[in-house]
Amino acid sequence: MLTFGTDGVRGEFGKELTENYAANLAEVAMQVLRCKVVVIGRDTRESGLLLETAITKALVTMGVEVQLMGVAPTPAIAFAARKHGVVAIAITASHNLYQDNGIKIFGSGGRKLSDAEQASIEREMIARDAAVSDWVTTNSQAADDMASSGAKSGVARPELLQEYCDWLVGLVPPDALKNLHVALDCANGAFSHVAPEVFSKLGATVRTINATPDGRNINLQCGATHPEPLSEVVKSAGADFGIAFDGDGDRLIAVDGDAQIVDGDHLLAISALDMKHRGTLRNNKVVVTVMTNIGFHQAMKNAGIEVVTTPVGDRSVLLALDDESLSLGGEQSGHIIYRDLATTGDGLLAAVTLAVLFADSNKPLSEIASRAMTSFPQVLINLRVGKRVDDVDQLFESEIATAEKTLGGSGRVLVRASGTEPMVRVMVEAPQQDIAEKVAATLAEAITARLS
């Protein structure tokens, strides 16, 4: 049975994540959350409509009012939940390829589920697991019977997506970006039409790539996980900078005018320094994860900003933001959370915020980013494993200790299990690139030998 990872439930469609499982999970979640109205949106995967239909049937059967946004970015779905005070479901596997899909659940008001809520849902799912086939058969038939007798199905609410677009446009003065030329890589995902519309309404000249989703090309050699095509477009088009989103739009990676990557650490550092200057960095703190580069920590220390570090995942960042009443947090992967404005990572909100800051600065993004922080060389190796590995710190304690001894206190080693895929991630930071590469390769080889 699938369990909650760092960001919802995710797996290969038709194998790990089936329509029956999705329907069952949705019903259990709505019972735990005592939900009467739910908003549902999905990204552009071909399996999204099948999962949406299965979930809608199950929830309508149990008397929940289902409002359908259709294809919509995850932050827009969370925004609808926040604006209208309802529960929401995003059907997405984020940055994964089309073969996978997933379910993210937002509690009433667009908030991430608490640990206790997730645990309650998982316990109920385990309790039902043995009878899941009988449950689905019975309830699917009930849904079919209700449909044939004129019962309500999901209600189409496309205006909810427009509300999100209008909100973003209304955050900044009209034509605030009128002198900006930006390139957007929409990852053939949920921002394919939304992001160009928002930037155009703000007056920017927009060059868009990878905005023709066909159900199978989401994240395929494009978007935030593959920003190289965007770099080429920024260079050839002479754009001021570029933004690459992931498939569901909750994160971004930037490319400066010199076609160099500006990752989430730099984007977060830029915002932290700007917000401190404007007096909006609440309690003078910023939240990051264990993957954040050492260079970020040094830059924040030099600026007099305290850094709060959490496990990987924007959900962990959000919990820390709420626990300490903070206003800014994020991840190196590009999740940027402006907590006063949103309840989850929002790639387009972060992109608009960066664009306004750029327009006001009269400086190239390369200069803004380099002034914000200097990264230590960082090497990340993903080791695919047969099944999820837990307690990696203890399991590979001796291998990690050997790597740390090699660095001699001048760098950092992190080994962790992926929260969304069957992978062990090995990360090494060092003052020089060749040292980081050598230590990471040696460590990865030792871990692979243990796992084989």
Give the active site residues.
94
Kind of pairing between the strands at 205-209 and 181-185: parallel
Please choose, from the candidates 187, 249, 194, the residue with its C-alpha nearest in 3D space to the C-alpha of residue 219. Answer: 187
CB atoms within 10 A of CB 148: 8
Burial class (CB in 10 A: 0-12, 13-18, 19+), 168: buried
User: Within its chain, how far is the Cα of 245 from the centroid?
Assistant: 10
Q: In what order do the strands lie in the sheet with 241-245?
A: 205-209, 181-185, 241-245, 252-255, 261-262
Buried b (16+ CB within 10 A) or exposed e, 212-223: ebeeebbbbebb
Please choose, from the candidates 236, 233, 266, 281, the residue with its C-alpha nearest in 3D space to the C-alpha of residue 367. Answer: 266
Please choose, from the candidates 219, 262, 222, the residue with its C-alpha nearest in 3D space to the C-alpha of residue 240. Answer: 262
Cα 344 from Cα 335, distance rounded (Å): 8
* CA-to-CA separations, 278 to 67, 145, 281, 369, in angstroms, rounded: 39, 59, 8, 18
* CA-to-CA separations, 421 to 111, 139, 189, 288, in angstroms, rounded: 24, 31, 20, 21
> How would you classify residue 363: left for phi > 0, otherwise alpha for psi between -120 and 50, otherwise beta?
beta
Cα 79 from Cα 268, distance rounded (Å): 21
Alpha helices in 171-241 (DSSP H): 194-201, 228-237
Cα 108 from Cα 336, distance rounded (Å): 21
Residue 356 and residue 199 in contact, taking contact as beta carbons nearer than 8 Å: no
Kind of pairing between the strands at 241-245 and 181-185: parallel
